[in-house]
Amino acid sequence: MTKDTKAKHLLSIPVIVAALGYFVDIYDLLLFSIVRIPSLKALQVADNQLMEQGMYLINMQMAGMLLGGILWGVIGDRKGRLSVLFGSILLYSLANIINGFVTTVDQYAMLRFVAGVGLAGELGAGITLVAEILPKEIRGYGTTIVASVGVLGAVLAYFVADLFNWKIAYFIGGGLGLALLVLRFNVFESGIFKQVKQENKPRGNFFALFRSRKIFFKYLRCIMIGLPIWFVIGILITFSPEFGKAVGLVEPVLAGKAVMCCYIGLSLGDMSSGLLSQYLHSRRKAVLVFVLLTCLAIGLYLVQRTQSVMLFYALCLLLGYAIGYWALFVTIAAEQFGTNLRATVATTVPNFVRGSVNIFTPAFLLLKTHTGITGAAGIVGITTITLALLAVWKMEETFSKDLNYSE
């Protein structure tokens, strides 16, 4: 394949629109982590309740993503990848616009749940579509482009939240999503999916993932390799102001700036892990390298006792770079299963990982009373790393695997 042919494939409309869609998705997904403190203070939440109420709202958003992951995954395999790309962005865009009008924490929680349902569909459908339309030799580059561009949505969210009121930031996010719908009319459906649809084979049966021991454990491994990623984002970065105090920083840590630094690192990490995977001709080896790097970064973040807030932000960037195997993680999930279950898996897996914060946070809060905030984070973090390493050990290599098959 010539360089011009590769460029033509990688800069095609579906790849560009999937990348922009994930960009908006990440903006809306991470906006709450950025505006958590100012928005809750505006709703008259006491300072000593900011962490607990923040976790409540994040858990509601992630619960919505768990439900949405199943819903959009089934729709993606039964109706098509484009159905998800249109429906999910419309739902979360409208929910975020309405979010700007909330007056109580309960209203806030309900809208984060609805937004979570919508946000659940974007990444899995986009990665599935890109993986299916690109030649197998370069699909790793395509999914890397989608993720690397997409995660920069968090950087835009930080600057918007810094320049405007938190309500305006929600309005802008919703508006960006609605504007993206216009571009989506130029995207075409996956040829592989069209072929399976014509064959009229059973598609999108979520419960088929639990009927065979082999398939279930393959599915579980896909989830386990992503657990350290969302532990870092959902605990270490979201509650970075609290961790800043715990390590002795006098100058307060701004959650929005920590999120921005993390996601700049994540974008660089996604590019690096994708290129490493192509160089090694292996998904598993690249993921192993980045899981081990994540373990190192978590340790540095929790044991350092710097008095420099800039060094703290640098560690947030390092954490982001280390967990920058997100694109690989979702690509692996899409490549592990046949076309009749691919969207279901690729959509549910990242959302089950995101939803795992509903397990992390209660465990973290329980342990915090006995071991302190850094000790609790260390125990939960090493647990996620161990599970990820076990999953990589037993996982099938999928580099250059032909995706034109059904389960």
Q: Which of 194, 176, 234, 196 is closest to 350 using CA atoms?
A: 234
By mean pLDDT, which of 75-84, 184-193, 261-270, 322-331 is the weakest?
Answer: 184-193
Using alpha carbons only, what angle is made at residue 352 by residues 137 and 390, rounded to the nearest 5 degrees?
A: 70
Q: Would you state the pLDDT for residue 255?
A: 83
**First-to-last C-alpha distance (Å) of the chain:** 30
- Residue 196: inside a domain, yes or no? no
- Residue 342: inside a domain, yes or no? yes
Asked if 259 contacts 400 with a C-beta cutoff of 8 angstroms, the reply is: no
Give residue 308's pLDDT band: very low, low, confident or very high (50, 70, 90): confident
Give residue 210's pLDDT band: very low, low, confident or very high (50, 70, 90): confident
Task: Report, in angstroms and rounded to the nearest whole number, the Rg of the chain calculated over CA atoms.
Answer: 20
- Residue 193: inside a domain, yes or no? no
Q: Would you state the pLDDT for residue 134?
A: 85
What is the CATH number for 213? 1.20.1250.20
* 3 state SS of 67: helix
- Residue 84: inside a domain, yes or no? yes
- Residue 173: inside a domain, yes or no? yes
Residue-wise pLDDT tens digits, 89-125: 899 999 999 999 999 999 999 999 999 999 888 888 8
Average pLDDT over residues 311-321: 95
- Residue 402: inside a domain, yes or no? no
Residue-wise pLDDT tens digits, 172-198: 999 999 988 887 776 766 666 667 666
By mean pLDDT, which of 107-111, 113-117, 230-234, 302-306 is the weakest?
Answer: 302-306
Q: What total of structural domains would you count in the chain?
A: 1
Q: Would you state the pLDDT for residue 196?
A: 67
Question: Which residues in 201-214 are b (16+ Cβ under 10 Å) and which e?
Answer: eebbebebbeeeee
Give residue 359's pLDDT band: very low, low, confident or very high (50, 70, 90): confident
**What is the Cα–Cα distance from 343 to 322, expressed in whole angstroms?**
26
- Residue 14: inside a domain, yes or no? yes
Domain residues for the domain of 37 are 3-188+206-394
Q: Would you state the pLDDT for residue 169?
A: 94
**What is the Cα–Cα distance from 20 to 144, expressed in whole angstroms?**
13
Q: Would you state the pLDDT for residue 112?
A: 94
Asked if 88 contacts 122 with a C-beta cutoff of 8 angstroms, the reply is: yes
Which DSSP letter does residue 234 get? I
- Across 218-348, the runs of DSSP E, i.e. the strands, are none
Q: Which has the higher per-residue pLDDT, 219 or 47?
A: 219
Asked if 322 contacts 290 with a C-beta cutoff of 8 angstroms, the reply is: yes
Instruction: Look at phi and psi of residue 134 and say left if phi exceeds 0, alpha if psi is from -120 to 50, else beta.
Output: beta
